[in-house]
Amino acid sequence: MDLQDQLKKLFPNHQFQEPEEISSEKSELFMQDEPIICKYEKKGRNGKPVTILENYNGSDEDLKNLAKDIKSKLGVGGSVKDDTIVIQGNHRDKIMEMLKSKGFNVKRVGG
């Protein structure tokens, strides 16, 4: 005897409704016309390389979700500061491929 049968015995006049399906997809990120700028930088960071993504015009929440997705797929650290995403290490090529596969227009700056 499962839970539904027990509830039918306890509440015989109750009309059961089928639960609505909840979509498990994440909300889509804001897509923009202008390219996201992907650049490599070492200055001012004690010689440690970082990849910087800037020029994203979406909401702060979308920016954080994008950064979280990139960091988890690459297995690296990073942060979101002043509407830019800072990823530890030189991962420009991988990040650019990931963003292009999501439908973003990406522009490589420097080197």
Q: Where does the chain show beta strands of DSSP type E?
A: 36-41, 50-54, 78-81, 84-88, 106-109
Say if strands 106-109 and 36-41 run parallel, antiparallel, or are unpaired. Answer: parallel
Note the pLDDT tens digit of each residue in 50-99.
Answer: 999 999 888 889 899 999 999 999 999 999 998 899 999 999 999 999 99
pTM of the model as a whole: 0.70
Question: What is the token pair recorded at 102?
Answer: 């999501």
Strand 78-81 and strand 50-54: the pairing is unpaired
Q: Which residues contact 36 (CB under 8 A, 6 or more apart)?
A: 53, 54, 55, 56, 99, 104, 105, 106, 107
CA gap 102, 97 in Å, rounded: 9
Q: Which neighbouring-strand residues pair with 39?
A: 52, 109
Q: Kindly report, residue by residue over 18-27, the tens digit of the pLDDT.
A: 766 554 444 4
Position 109, amino acid: V
**Domains defined for the chain, CATH in brackets:** 31-109 (3.30.780.10)
